[in-house]
Amino acid sequence: MKTRWIVTIFVTLFISGCLQSTLNLPPDKGKLQKIEAGTLESSVRIIAGEPDRILKSKNGYRTYYYREKLSSDCHKDLRTCTPIIIENGKVVAVGRQWAKAWRSKRKRKTAYGESQNIKSAGSDQTAIQKSAESDQAAIQKSTESDQAAIRQKIAKLEKQVKAIPAARTVDNLDIYRYLLKLDPGNVRYKQKVAFYETRFEKEKAERVAAKKRLTTTRKWQNARLKEFKGDPPAQMAVKIMGNGKFHIWLKNTGDKPFRVEAAQFFLSCKKGKRYKIYSSRDFGRDLEPQAIIEGRVIFNITCTPREIIYANPGVAIVSRNIPAPE
């Protein structure tokens, strides 16, 4: 049980201990509570980080002091810090109350008792050395287990990335970046990441250029479509908004009112094929003579539009061809 506890300290808390030291924050109470009599000195530093102050006693033991708050200063006021007494490489007391009691007992020791402690120091050091060797073996075993898990993850990702077409740049890039994190020295992963990063930037530039071209084309088209055109009794003007959306103006140029319904609008992307409207909230009322009705229509298709059609049987059919730049 002791060895398992020490392995847990080395493996699980190593990162958090380093982070605590790097940020120069006081360890939380939960970490200090994990330290008890018998804990190795090296484990104390892993759990709680580097002490804020170390005081050496002439009697051979040392006291680690850890700040209890951000405002604590172990050099100016030791009462704001938690003491941990280390003797012969192991913890013998934690906290002000137990540290005070241990020091008092230490002072009352007889010369015979002190000589016995000195005599036993050699055997304690031997025990510590054996414990450290056991801990190192356990850590090595844990590391090998971690490496096996990493190799298993790499094999799974390798299988996954092989099934992804090379054209899917982002998916390939994400997986190869992950693989490179798992195996930083792998030359092939580095080459793959560099390849897909270059392709990603190229595709990004192409998308930006295409968007600019589309914006220019759309502006040119809308400038021509905004004029009313059509045979009596109806004329139509159109604005392309993109993604299957259009804003439409319809004018009654005749002398009789007629009903305008959303279902009377159609979109053509290929010659001879019409798509019905998907939705519109702006139509469904009568259009009086010489009046204009307008609203937005949406088609559930994204394509290059060729023609917008208003077809009202028995009244009017108006078609606006979408001009294309030469």
pLDDT tens column, 252-269: 999 999 999 999 999 999
Closest by Cα among 177, 176, 172, 170 to 203:
170
CB distance 274 to 299 below 8 Å? no
Of 191 and 113, which is predicted with more confidence? 191
pLDDT, mean of residues 105-134:
59
Q: What type of residue sits at position 10? A: F
Q: Which helix (H) or strand (E) element contains residue 85?
A: strand 81-87
Q: Find the mean pLDDT for residues 229-245.
A: 95
Give the predicted TM-score (pTM) of the model: 0.49
Looking at residue 131, what is its pLDDT? 57
166 phi and psi angles, rounded to 5 deg: -60, -25
Rounded Cα distance, 318 and 213, in Å: 29
Residue with tokens 């050496």: 56
- Tally the residues of the chain: 326
pLDDT tens string 276-291: 999 999 999 999 999 9
Residue burial 63-89, b: 16+ Cβ < 10 Å; e: rest: bbbbbbeeebebeeebebbbbbbbbbb
Q: What is the DSSP string of 176-203?
A: HHHHHHHSTT-HHHHHHHHHHHHHHHHH
Query: CATH assignment of 226-321, given 2.60.40.1240, 2.60.15.10, 3.40.50.2300, 3.30.465.10?
Result: 2.60.40.1240
Of the listed ranges 47-56, 101-110, 164-173, 309-318, the one predicted with least confidence: 101-110
269, 271, 266, 261: which is closest to 315 by C-alpha? 261
Q: Where are the alpha helices (DSSP H) in the chain?
A: 2-12, 14-23, 29-33, 41-48, 96-107, 111-162, 169-182, 187-225
Does pLDDT of 118 surpass 70? no
Classify residue 43 by burial, with Cβ atoms within 10 Å: 0-12, 13-18, 19+: buried
Summarize the confidence of residues 195-204 as an average pLDDT: 94
pLDDT band at 70 (very low <50, low <70, confident <90, very high): confident
Q: From CA 315, how far away is CA 260, in angstroms rounded? A: 10
Distance CA 93, CA 57 (A): 14
Per-residue pLDDT tens over the stretch 208-220: 999 999 999 999 9
pLDDT at 136: 59
At position 111, the amino acid (one-letter code) is A
pLDDT exceeding 90 applies to what percent of the chain?
48
